[in-house]
């Protein structure tokens, strides 16, 4: 009889441990929203030992993620950070970059208008999401954006929880293709939207122009756009003749404007398209301006030791990348304001642009899934599941130990009797 009771106790230990494990896993799904309540952004990319004030910092928010979808948000934030930071030239500057994620809890899932067939249906969508992101902006289905007051809400929340952040990104819980740029980069969870994100970061971070004709209102002097046609005088003259860089006329818009490449990510979306060398240099300079001179210097010293040639990874023997970083020297007057000077409030290369003009910029998109190895490499914080499983293991052991102790004490009392 005593033996059967002992077996029952062991069974109860297993049952209690299993229940606690399930409860702990449920807690893992809620833990992300608890972080939001506590005001704690989670580092999903970068060196935790690098001070935010010394780094180039991006902050990823979520919209349309309910309380039970917070784990999905953090997974997607890690994927987006990994994808962006694995793209040149950000991969060369990994020692300066940090990406945080902050989950906000929406009442309902998705984005306004993501299932709508036209503007009227989109306007009738009354779903309640934290930031109110919506498709069909300006009558364009794929244009996923925020109203001005909602952009201000993002900016205010960034200032509240992570004032050291330079720019914000909004990931929207919809698998419909879409996104937009401007002060805040917005992208859906469609696999091709990561390319939209990279393109829009070019506008936001480095003030790059489109290398397709976006309209007369966007024709401005920029690092990669000019009215100067002389290769000896153009601002990117040191790059002309290298890696396809030249002085190319915009052929699908107003005459008299020129760009450095015909195959840049600022014109075409897709993993097969890189940023051209001119745009890469503008991004490098922008990242370094938002980082401290000390951090930039340390990065250059590390790269010089690694390459022995003193040039940035991926650069040629001319050392242009390193020269610009050294000359720039990092930030001189603290962090810039969010999106200051950005001219592209609603710009978006179109997946269906061939129907509207000859400047199609999103055909043949290809975004591979993040591998487990990449996720482990670029996530410096343990996932909620890792935390919950560890806690469950501890709870299981403690529960089993308590039952064994109680059973042992019962045996002792029976012996003394």
Query: What DSSP string runs through 67-110?
Result: GGGHHHHHHHHHHHHHHHHTSTTGGGGTTTEEEEEE----SS-S
Looking at the chain, the whole-number percentage of residues with pLDDT higher than 70 is: 64
Give the pLDDT confidence of 39-73 residue by residue, as tens digits.
689 999 999 999 999 999 999 999 999 999 999 99
Mean pLDDT of the 110-136 span: 94
**Which of 280 and 360 is assigned the larger pLDDT?**
280
Q: What is the pLDDT of residue 8?
A: 57
Q: What is the pLDDT of residue 308?
A: 65
Q: What is the pLDDT of residue 42?
A: 97
Count other Cβ atoms within 10 Å, centred on residue 272: 11
Distance of CA 190 to the CA centre of its chain: 14
Mean pLDDT of the 132-143 span: 94
Tokens of 88: 């040149």
Is residue 28's pLDDT more than 80? no
Q: What is the pLDDT of residue 9?
A: 55
Q: What is the pLDDT of residue 4?
A: 54
Q: What is the pLDDT of residue 322?
A: 32
Is residue 356's pLDDT more than 60? no
7-37 residues labelled b (16+ CB within 10 A) or e (exposed): eebeeebeebbeebbeebeeebbbbbbebbe
Q: Which residue pairs from 133-140 have beta carbons closer than 8 angstroms and sit at least 24 positions apart in sequence? A: 133/63, 133/64, 133/170, 133/172, 133/186, 135/111, 135/174, 135/176, 135/178, 137/180, 137/346, 138/346, 140/348, 140/350
Would you report the helix, strand and coil content of the chain in percent, each value rounded to 5? 45, 10, 45
Mean pLDDT of the 353-370 span: 31
Q: What is the mean pLDDT of the chain?
A: 76
Q: What is the largest CA-CA distance in the chain?
A: 105
Please report, for the chain, the start and end positions of each structural domain, with discontinuous segments joined by +: 2-31+396-416, 47-379
Give the pLDDT confidence of 282-333 residue by residue, as tens digits.
999 999 999 999 999 999 888 888 776 555 544 443 333 333 343 343 443 3
Tell me the fold of 47-379: Collagenase (Catalytic Domain) (3.40.390)
What pTM was computed for the model? 0.69
What is the chain's length? 417
> What is the rounded end-to-end Cα distance, in angstroms, of the chain?
17
Is residue 273's pLDDT more than 50? yes
3-state secondary structure of 311: coil
Contact by Cβ (8 Å): 177, 190:
yes
When mean pLDDT is compared over 3-12, 98-107, 310-319, the highest value belongs to: 98-107
Q: Binning pLDDT at 50, 70 and 90, where does residue 403 land?
A: very low
Count other Cβ atoms within 10 Å, centred on residue 79: 22
42 to each of 17, 61, 86, 116, 218, how far by Cα in Å?
A: 29, 11, 19, 33, 36
Q: Is the dihedral of CA 152, 153, 158, 163 positive or negative?
A: positive
Quote the crossing angle between the two packed helices 320-328 and 277-289, to the nearest 10°: 30
**Which of 14 and 185 is assigned the larger pLDDT?**
185
Q: What is the pLDDT of residue 44?
A: 97
3-class SS string, 188-243:
ECCCCHHHHHHHHHHHHHHCCCCCCCCCHHHCCCECCEECCCCCCCCCCHHHCCCC
Q: What is the pLDDT of residue 306?
A: 78
Strand pairing category for 97-102 and 56-63: parallel
Choose among 402, 400, 357, 342: nearest CA to 18.
400
Q: What is the pLDDT of residue 24?
A: 39
Q: What is the pLDDT of residue 301?
A: 87
Mean pLDDT of the 340-346 span: 38
Q: What is the pLDDT of residue 346?
A: 41
Q: What is the pLDDT of residue 302?
A: 85
Is residue 129's pLDDT more than 60? yes
**Which of 291 and 336 is assigned the larger pLDDT?**
291
Verify cis geometry, omega within 30 degrees of 0, for the bond prior to 393. no
Q: What is the pLDDT of residue 123?
A: 92
Choose among 219, 147, 134: nearest CA to 179.
134
Residue 59: strand pairing partners: 100, 168
Q: What is the pLDDT of residue 130?
A: 97
Mean pLDDT of the 346-369 span: 34
Is residue 203's pLDDT more than 50? yes
Q: Is the dihedral of CA 312, 316, 322, 324 positive or negative?
A: negative
Mean pLDDT of the 107-111 span: 96
Q: What is the pLDDT of residue 125?
A: 92
Give the pLDDT confidence of 169-186 residue by residue, as tens digits.
999 999 999 999 888 999
Q: What is the pLDDT of residue 309?
A: 54
Q: What is the pLDDT of residue 154?
A: 97
């Amino acid at each position: 009889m005593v033996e059967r009771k002992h077996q029952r106790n062991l069974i109860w230990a297993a049952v209690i441990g299993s229940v606690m494990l399930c409860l702990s896993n449920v807690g893992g799904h809620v833990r992300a929203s608890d972080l939001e309540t506590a005001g704690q952004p989670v580092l999903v990319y970068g060196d935790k030992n690098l001070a935010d004030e010394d780094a180039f910092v991006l902050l990823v928010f979520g919209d349309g993620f309910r309380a039970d979808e917070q784990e999905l948000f953090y997974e997607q934030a890690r994927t987006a950070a990994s994808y962006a930071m694995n793209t040149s030239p950000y991969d060369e500057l990994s020692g300066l970059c940090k990406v945080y994620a902050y989950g906000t809890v929406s009442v309902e899932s998705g984005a306004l208008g993501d299932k709508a067939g036209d503007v009227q249906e989109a306007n009738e969508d009354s779903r309640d999401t934290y930031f109110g992101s919506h498709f069909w902006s300006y009558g364009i289905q794929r244009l996923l954006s925020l109203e001005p007051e909602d952009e201000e809400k993002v900016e205010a929340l960034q200032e509240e929880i992570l004032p050291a952040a330079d720019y914000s990104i909004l990931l929207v819980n919809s698998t419909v293709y879409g996104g937009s740029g401007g002060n805040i980069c917005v992208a859906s969870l469609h696999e091709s939207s990561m390319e939209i994100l990279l393109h829009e970061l070019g506008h936001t971070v480095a003030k790059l122009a489109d290398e397709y004709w976006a309209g007369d209102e966007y024709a401005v002097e920029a690092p990669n756009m000019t009215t100067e046609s002389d290769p000896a005088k153009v601002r990117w003259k040191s790059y002309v003749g290298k890696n396809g860089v030249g002085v190319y006329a915009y052929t699908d818009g107003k005459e008299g404007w020129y760009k450095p490449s015909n195959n840049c990510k600022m014109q075409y979306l897709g993993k097969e398209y890189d940023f051209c060398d001119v745009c890469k240099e503008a991004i490098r300079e922008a990242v370094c301006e938002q980082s401290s001179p000390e951090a930039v210097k340390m990065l250059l010293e590390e790269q010089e030791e690694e390459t022995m040639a003193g040039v940035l990874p991926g650069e040629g023997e001319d050392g242009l990348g390193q020269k610009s970083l050294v000359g720039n020297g990092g930030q001189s007057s603290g962090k810039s304001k969010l999106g200051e000077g950005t001219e592209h409030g609603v710009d978006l290369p179109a997946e269906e642009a061939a129907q509207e003009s000859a400047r199609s910029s999103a055909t043949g998109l290809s975004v591979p899934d993040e591998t487990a190895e990449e996720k482990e490499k670029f996530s410096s914080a343990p996932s909620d599941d890792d935390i919950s499983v560890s806690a469950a293991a501890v709870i299981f052991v403690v529960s089993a130990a308590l039952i064994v102790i109680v059973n042992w004490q019962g045996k002792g009392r029976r012996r003394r009797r």
